[in-house]
Amino acid sequence: KAGVTQTPRYLIKTRGQQVTLSCSPISGHRSVSWYQQTPGQGLQFLFEYFSETQRNKGNFPGRFSGRQFSNSRSEMNVSTLELGDSALYLCASSLDASYGYTFGSGTRLTVV
Amino acid sequence: QQQVKQSPQSLIVQKGGISIINCAYENTAFDYFPWYQQFPGKGPALLIAIRPDVSEKKEGRFTISFNKSAKQFSLHIMDSQPGDSATYFCAASGNNDMRFGAGTRLTVKP
């Protein structure tokens, strides 16, 4: 079966702009979680959605937001981009947020 | 707040040796402890996982040891191979929440 698909794979944006990243989960998976990965910081939890509802949120500023659609696809948005937002953004889907995460290959965001 | 602490940050092992990575967690509500392996340019992939009702789980060359009272768990890679060179993440989850350690970059020298 198809895995988790993240688009785009690479993105270059200018400071101050906004960006939207997309994640299509594995068919049947209703939970989608987002993580930011930077060198030395590991995987920092952004938020988790289940059936269009945000159930958990990490310690990121309000510039980071997300949503989930009825088909379980999810988007995350970052407004007013800062240089420090440059990172690999990973999406993971699962049947239940507690178990069996499958990750996508990520979107590499570079802010210049 | 780092809910899962992982060590070491990097590890160099000779081919055929044993690689050991340790993790500790704080939240006693966690009830699932997976390890993920990540190669450059790829997302993390589930390697092996354990639940707290067992103290050890082995799959091939990979073994998780779990100490519930100490809230610690570790990954052992036996007969390490150059192809095992990757970044390894431990994680702990429960209550619709999964938190990851900071990662260990493993290098296996031929």
Instruction: For B84-94, write each residue's pLDDT tens digit.
Output: 999 999 999 88
pLDDT band at A97 (very low <50, low <70, confident <90, very high): low
Write down the mean pLDDT value for chain B.
93
- Strands annotated E in chain A: 5-7, 10-13, 19-24, 31-38, 42-50, 53-57, 64-68, 74-78, 87-94, 102-103, 107-111
B33 neighbourhood in chain A, CB within 8 Å? none
Mean pLDDT across B32-45: 93
Tens-digit pLDDT profile for residues B46-85: 999 999 899 999 999 999 999 999 999 999 999 999 999 9
Residue B16's pLDDT is: 97
Using the Cβ of A87 and the Cβ atoms of chain B, whether some distance falls under 8 Å is answered with no
Query: Of the candidates B100, B102, B24, B105, which has an alpha carbon nearest to the alpha carbon of residue B66?
Result: B24
Least confident window among A12-26, A38-52, B78-92:
A38-52
A92 alpha carbon, distance to own chain's centre = 8
Residue B1's pLDDT is: 54
Q: Which residue of B has its CA nearest to A103?
A: B43
Residue A39's pLDDT is: 81
pLDDT over threshold 80, residue A30:
yes
Residue A99's pLDDT is: 73
Residue A95's pLDDT is: 84
Mean pLDDT across B4-28: 96
B76 alpha carbon, distance to own chain's centre = 8
Residue A1's pLDDT is: 63
B104 neighbourhood in chain A, CB within 8 Å? none
pLDDT band at B8 (very low <50, low <70, confident <90, very high): very high
Least confident window among A7-11, A13-17, A67-71, A95-99:
A95-99
Its sign, for the CA torsion B51, B89, B97, B68, is positive
Site of tokens 């940050």:
B9
First to last CA, chain B: 38
Residue B95's pLDDT is: 78
Residue B3's pLDDT is: 85
| Preferred mutation among B5, B31, B93, B98 to probe A, highest tally of A CBs within 10 A | B98
Residue A98's pLDDT is: 67
CA distance B82 to chain A (A): 22
Q: Which residue of B has its CA nearest to A59?
A: B1
CA distance B102 to chain A (A): 4
